[in-house]
């Protein structure tokens, strides 16, 4: 039987903060980084103001971080990512 996740006040505050940061990034025409423990080490999602999401590999070069686009998610998969992380 699947466990049901009960949304707590702490979860709601966390999600509110995440949505606020995401909105701020988009208003500045910046992407929003979505970290996921469901992805392999070093991979992240990056959501862009135009709505597309890329799966990217992150690696360091000296003191800088670089990103390599692995693929752009189809719209239906991007929507699923937003649903899983409460961004819809």
The model's confidence at residue 88, banded by pLDDT at 50, 70 and 90, is confident
DSSP classification of residue 3:
P
**Domain assignment of residue 5, yes or no:** no
Range of the domain at 41: 30-88
Q: Name the pTM for this structure.
A: 0.82
14-43 pLDDT, tens digit each: 889 999 999 999 999 999 999 999 999 999
Q: What is the CATH number of the domain that holds 60?
A: 3.30.160.390
**Domain assignment of residue 19, yes or no:** no
Q: What is the pLDDT of residue 27?
A: 97
User: Across residues 69-74, what is the average pLDDT?
Assistant: 98
Sort residue 76 into left (φ over 0), alpha (ψ -120 to 50) or beta. Answer: alpha
Number of domains in the chain: 1
Sort residue 19 into left (φ over 0), alpha (ψ -120 to 50) or beta. Answer: alpha
**Domain assignment of residue 80, yes or no:** yes
């Amino acid at each position: 039987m699947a466990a049901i996740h009960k949304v707590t006040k702490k979860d709601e505050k966390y999600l509110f903060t995440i949505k606020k940061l995401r909105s701020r990034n988009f208003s500045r025409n910046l992407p929003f980084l979505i970290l996921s423990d469901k992805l392999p080490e070093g991979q992240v999602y990056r959501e862009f103001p135009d709505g597309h999401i890329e799966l990217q590999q992150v690696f360091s070069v000296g003191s800088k971080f670089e990103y390599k686009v692995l693929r752009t998610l189809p719209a239906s998969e991007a929507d699923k990512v937003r649903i899983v992380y409460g961004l819809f």
